[in-house]
């Protein structure tokens, strides 16, 4: 799995460089002659494919007909198309591994800078769990934590795991505001920049303010086209709810038992080129158990 992770990180970095290249002809020539970064990319993709196929073989050996994991469910439907199953494994890892890690990293960075928010979260969590088991918070309890949900959304507004994304127009089209988009045009949107636009979020756009998501104490989402962290329209992220509940479960378990102090202080963050927002050098923190 460590080899898989390294190959995944390499592929993400090199594909992002492709996307940011001012002239695509350069990487296309490298691919044609199999040199430099394109050769390295091909090697990393080969490693990813090999290990993904090994995961599928292991699942077959263990049996999948009674399994409840996502791969087993897909294999029950389509077990004779290894390429499809391989792509499913890679898609789930790409969508769920780096994005959740990125979202949780920036979340604890912002919590470290806002102790009032931590205290308010702990009050809400304690109120929901009451005399329950803190080690086994269930799905229904997570749904009741509106403030925790608001803190997550506010964190993702300022630090979306996917900072920019592009779509290509298959046919001539017209956007809702009347803008004509011709066939094969690349349209790029930038959730990181949009989360910092005064025209969308008002003059306090730079403030970490979970309360902006609450109405009468209940979480109220924004228009997805103003907040495209999970995309919008017919292309809303399929794993959106799973990712949010996964992050909430981690956050609740950590916040209840630990204090997280980020050590970078006020140093400006630098991101590594990649498909997801990864902080260069990681985020150093001191974690201490609460008494």
Q: Which residues are annotated as a binding site?
A: 237
- Shortest CA distance to 275 belongs to which of 52, 53, 8? 8
**How far lies 62's CA from each of 25, 46, 141, 177, 290, in Å?**
46, 25, 33, 54, 41
Cα–Cα distance for residue pair 13/3, rounded to 1 Å? 16
DSSP characters for 82-123? HHHHHHHHHHHHHHHHHHHHHHHHHHHHHHHH-HHHHHHHHH
Residue 255 has which token pair? 């916040």
Question: For residues 191 and 163, is the Cβ–Cβ distance under 8 A?
Answer: yes
- From the centroid of its chain, how far is CA 25? 30
Beta-carbon contacts of 115 under 8 Å, excluding residues fewer than 6 positions away, are none
Bind-site residues for heme: 237
Cα–Cα distance for residue pair 208/216, rounded to 1 Å? 19
Residue 173 has which token pair? 């089209």
DSSP characters for 153-188? HHHHHHS-SS--EEEE-SS-EE-TTS-EE-TT-EEE
- Shortest CA distance to 275 belongs to which of 3, 17, 21, 1? 17
């Amino acid at each position: 799995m460590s080899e898989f992770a390294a190959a995944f990180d390499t592929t993400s970095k090199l594909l992002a460089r492709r996307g940011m290249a001012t002239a695509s002809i350069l990487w296309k020539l490298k691919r044609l002659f199999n040199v430099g970064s394109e050769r390295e990319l091909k090697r990393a993709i080969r490693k990813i494919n090999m290990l993904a196929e090994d995961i599928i073989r292991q699942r077959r050996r263990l049996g999948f007909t009674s399994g409840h994991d996502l791969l087993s469910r897909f294999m029950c439907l389509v077990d004779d198309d290894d390429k499809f199953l391989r792509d499913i494994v890679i898609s789930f890892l790409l969508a769920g591994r780096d994005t959740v890690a990125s979202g949780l990293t920036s979340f604890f960075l912002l919590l470290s800078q806002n102790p009032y928010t931590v205290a308010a979260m702990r009050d809400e969590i304690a109120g929901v769990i009451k005399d329950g088991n803190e080690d086994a918070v269930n799905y229904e309890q997570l749904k009741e934590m509106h403030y925790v949900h608001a803190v997550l959304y506010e964190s993702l507004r300022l630090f979306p795991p996917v900072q920019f994304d592009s779509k290509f127009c298959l046919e001539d089209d017209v956007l809702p505001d009347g803008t004509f988009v011709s066939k094969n045009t690349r349209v790029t949107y930038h959730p990181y920049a949009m989360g910092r636009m005064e025209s969308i979020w008002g003059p306090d756009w730079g403030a970490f303010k979970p309360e902006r998501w609450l109405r009468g104490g209940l979480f109220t989402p924004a228009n997805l086209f103003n907040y495209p962290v999970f995309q919008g329209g017919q292309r809303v992220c399929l794993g959106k709810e799973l990712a949010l509940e996964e992050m909430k479960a981690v956050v609740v378990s950590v916040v209840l038992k630990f204090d997280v102090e980020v050590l970078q202080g006020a140093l400006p963050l630098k991101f590594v080129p990649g498909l997801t927002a990864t902080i260069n050098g990681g985020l150093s923190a001191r974690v201490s158990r609460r008494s």
